[in-house]
Amino acid sequence: MKSDQTSMLEVLIAEDDPVSQRILEKNMKDWGYKVIIANNGQNAWQALQKEEIRMAVFDWMMPKINGVQLCQKVRLQKKDTYTYIILLTSRDRQEDIVEGLSSGADDYIVKPFNTLELKARLQTGKRIIDLQNQLLQSKKQLETLATQDSLTKLWNRATIIKHLGEELNRSSREKKPVGTILVDIDYFKNINDSHGHHVGDEVLIEVASRLRKHIRSYDKIGRYGGDELLVALPNCSLSIVKEIAERLRKVVCEKKIKTEIGLIAVTLSLGGASSENQSVISAEGLIKASDRALYQAKRNGRNCMVINRHIQTLKKGRK
């Protein structure tokens, strides 16, 4: 019966001896591992380039690339995930064991090997791999917490500004404009005051979802603050900013938002700008230009978008 704990783990066996190869393969499959076979070091190295292999058993003596050389090549790779390596050999001198472990092997088994010992050593390797998987998952969760707005699941303020800065740096090299749209939910305070913050959260979450679905795949959107959302638009002239802003306005206002108190009609005010025809522009300057356009959209009666064609370039030394 296969073990549930090992059923998803793939093991690379690099062994040129057909008898040893068959014994290793049969036992590992019986223990629930998925097995990849390589009959020499070169084939094993090629398999390691194609697959994310987390555990490997290398015979020391193999044609083309031997097990020690293979260990050294694996350890020179820069990867987030770790490959646990067991070196298999008939050499049992202390200096051989030291050489094998120093080359990057994690464990060492002497031929002829005992199958129960091999099983136990594989289980040790799996525990280490499981631990690293947990650490990688924790790291990913921390990165998400550090960069994502917890309510809308959009980028948070610091991260969207960072993305905008990166796009502006790229645009200066590639001579392509970057656009921004600052989005504000009309009368959002009234929604919170009349229906409660939970309903306000429902509205904000749905608006964020609709906007995210209707921007280009390489655009970025984040929660800039409160009910304000910021969209960063690479390779985007003023005319394209205008098209995208109007599309975003329509996708929200043309369909009421479902909340716990019923359907609510929601509209947006949007201010857009672009670095088009600007030799030097900062993320701060572009956002300020969009903010001025947004202010004008509100003065125009809301539920509309305004494009700012006049960006004030920030001079060095001025705040």
Tell me which residue of 309, 154, 159, 144 sits closest to 242, measured CA to CA.
309
How far is 236 from 234, CA to CA, in rounded Å? Answer: 5
Please identify which of the residues 59, 106, 184, 227 carries the catalytic annotation: 227
For the purposes of burial, counting CB atoms within 10 Å of the CB of 267, is it exposed (0-12), middle (13-18) or buried (19 or more)? Answer: middle
- Respond yes or no: is residue 227 known to be catalytic: yes
E strands, 217-280, are 220-225, 228-234, 257-259, 262-264, 268-274
Amino acid letter, 83: T
Cα 182 from Cα 163, distance rounded (Å)? 15
With a CB cutoff of 8 Å and minimum separation 6, the contacts of 170 are 176, 234
Q: Which residues are catalytic?
A: 227
